[in-house]
Structure 1
Amino acid sequence: MKKLSVSELAKLYGFSRQAIYAHINKGNLSKGSDGLIDFSEAIRVFGEPSPKEPIDNKSQSINSQQLTEIDMLKRQVDMLEKQLNQAVLRENQSLERESFYQEQIEAMQRLLEAPKPNMTTFTDQKPEPDITTDPQSESEPKHDGLTTTEPKENPRIPVPEHIEPEPKKRGFLSRFFLPNG
């Protein structure tokens, strides 16, 4: 079958070379290893060429502009689809992360609400005995927690055996006019 160059094919169908290359880059049209395009491939993509009529340069430039514009719009649509897919993926990841953190918060709240075995709760506390109903409570001395009944030494603070008394403090002028004492 007959093989044509990109320029010959563009002249035959009335397209610009850029439009032909756009079809090649998109994969609609294929070139051989020799760089030529098979005529049957061109017929498959573009159809039968129109009879040899004088081609109007204005219609050719408008047609090639439309093709390049359509190709540009298709590329923009592809790019926007990719961006949309990435945004949906990020949103899904964000939702997964949010649900994970929500589960962590709920687990921590359950742990905070669980009673500790060492701690006394309000229901575990013993009520104060009433003096009028319980005669034994009068004989026991009450300890209010503010005063200590017997002095206890703190084992962590060492107390020295002998403490020297502090010397009497002297005023500013007495340092100059009174003897050392």
Structure 2
Amino acid sequence: MKSLSVVELSKLYGINRQTIYNHINKGILSKNSDNKIDLSEAIRVFGEPSKKQGVKEPVKVDSQNSTENLLLRQQIDILKNQLEDAKERESFYQNQIETMQRLLEAPKTNMTTFTDQKPNQDIATDSQPKPELKDDRLTTPEQTENKRIPVPEHVEPEQPKRGWLSRFFLPNG
């Protein structure tokens, strides 16, 4: 029969090397004189190996990774839709700007401006008397002229302040 090392056996069965050494130390699994384990002995203890040597299993994608990929794809689709909407809005506003510029460049001849208008004679010559304002000094402040206070041309400088004791013991100066 075929003999396997501990490393080869751990790869074949997908178990930890320490588990194999523990089985050897407990006497559950035996080694040959060349420190290798017979395949029939490994089959007795661990059963038939689930995977064969030289055959690679297809890589399984985690369900978490697949959900992340799905979410990212959905977000990409949403962003693509938002980009298309933004491009449509941009083209609409660009058309609006062009329309406004054309309207500004070509003034209409039948439009009148404020300076072209004639004053309305009815309003200017209205003979109705204007209502007199009541003299209400509480609500309407009286208009007064701003009166200036005259400032003398020559002002004497103010003397420095003196302490309480210096007022009695120092001469006035």
TM-score (norm 1): 0.30
Answer with 1 or 2: which has the greater Rg: 2
Which has more helix, going by share of residues?
1
